[in-house]
């Protein structure tokens, strides 16, 4: 059985991203690569869609592994987010 999780998401402007996760490795592959969006408003829209897709993927990882996931973004401003694994009752 493979321990690799992989999911693709459609994003604005004809892009897609495929996330994959294996123990110790998280990867994002772009199609077409890499995104080149010039207008600031469209960049914000695009990256918000990316963050939503990434969060959805990492929520699945947290649930499947029963572990929290911490994301640290270093693109523009240093931000972090913790995705909590669901608790089982």
**CB 19 within 8 Å of CB 28:** yes
**Residue (of 8, 9, 11, 80) closest to 42 by Cα position:** 11
Half-sphere exposure of 10 (CA within 13 A, CB side): 2
CA quadruple 46, 49, 50, 52: dihedral, nearest 10: 160
For residues 78 and 38, the model is more confident at 38
pTM score, whole prediction: 0.86
pLDDT at 1: 42
pLDDT at position 58: 94
15-60 pLDDT per residue, tens: 999 999 998 899 999 999 878 889 999 999 999 999 999 999 999 9
Segments making up each domain of the chain, as ranges = 5-83
């Amino acid at each position: 059985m493979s321990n690799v999780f992989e999911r693709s998401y459609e994003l604005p402007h004809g892009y897609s991203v495929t996330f994959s996760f294996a123990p110790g490795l998280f990867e994002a592959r772009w199609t077409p690569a890499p995104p080149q969006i010039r207008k600031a408003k469209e960049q914000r829209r695009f990256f918000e869609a990316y963050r939503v897709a990434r969060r959805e993927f990492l929520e699945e990882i947290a649930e499947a592994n029963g572990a929290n996931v911490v994301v640290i973004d270093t693109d523009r401003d240093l931000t972090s987010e913790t995705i909590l694994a669901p608790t089982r009752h």
